[in-house]
C-alpha cells in the first residue's frame, strides 16, 4: 500500500516538473502560419508577443528559455530571409515544423 502512495507522489511530481514553466501551456497549443510546402512557421518576436514579454525582457535568457521549450515541443529553429513590404532585405529568426508531424531534418 505504501508503495502505491509513493508512486502517486512521484507521478504528481513528474507532472508538475513537466508543466513547471508557465510559457509551456501557451506554447503547446500554438499553430504557425502554414506555407504551400506544408511547413508551419512562427517568428520569435511573434512568440514573445503572444507570451506578453516586453522588449526589455527579450534578452538572451528569455531566448534560451524559449528555445528549450520550442525544441521540446517539436519545433526547429530557422532563419528566413526575404523582402519587407518596403522592399528592404530582412532576416527573421523563428521556428518551423512539419504540419504532418514529420522531421524537417
Q: In the structure, how many helices (H) and strands (E) does the chain have?
A: 4, 4
pLDDT at 105 (0 to 100): 57
Q: Calculate ∠ Cα 57-65-17, nearest 5°.
A: 125
pLDDT score of 3 more than 60: yes
| Alpha helix ranges (H) inside 1-105 | 2-18, 22-28, 44-50, 60-72
Distance of CA 44 to CAs 5, 56, 57, 93, 104, Å? 42, 15, 13, 6, 18
Mind listing the pLDDT tens digit for each residue in 29-57?
888 888 888 899 999 999 999 999 999 99
Q: Is 78 exposed, middle or buried (0-12, 13-18, 19+ CB in 10 A)?
A: middle
User: pTM of the entire structure?
Assistant: 0.72
- What CA–CA distance (Å, rounded) separates 96 from 74? 9
For CA atoms 30, 25, 96, 103, the dihedral sign is negative
Amino acid at each position: 500500500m505504501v508503495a502505491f502512495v509513493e508512486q502517486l507522489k512521484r507521478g504528481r511530481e513528474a507532472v508538475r516538473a513537466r508543466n513547471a514553466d508557465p510559457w509551456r501551456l501557451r506554447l503547446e497549443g500554438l499553430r504557425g502560419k502554414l506555407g504551400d510546402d506544408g511547413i508551419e512557421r512562427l517568428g520569435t518576436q511573434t512568440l514573445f508577443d503572444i507570451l506578453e514579454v516586453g522588449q526589455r525582457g527579450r534578452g538572451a535568457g528569455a531566448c534560451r528559455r524559449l528555445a528549450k521549450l520550442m525544441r521540446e515541443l517539436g519545433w526547429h529553429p530557422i532563419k528566413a530571409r526575404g523582402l519587407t513590404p518596403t522592399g528592404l532585405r530582412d532576416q527573421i529568426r523563428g521556428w518551423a515544423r512539419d504540419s504532418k508531424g514529420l522531421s524537417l531534418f
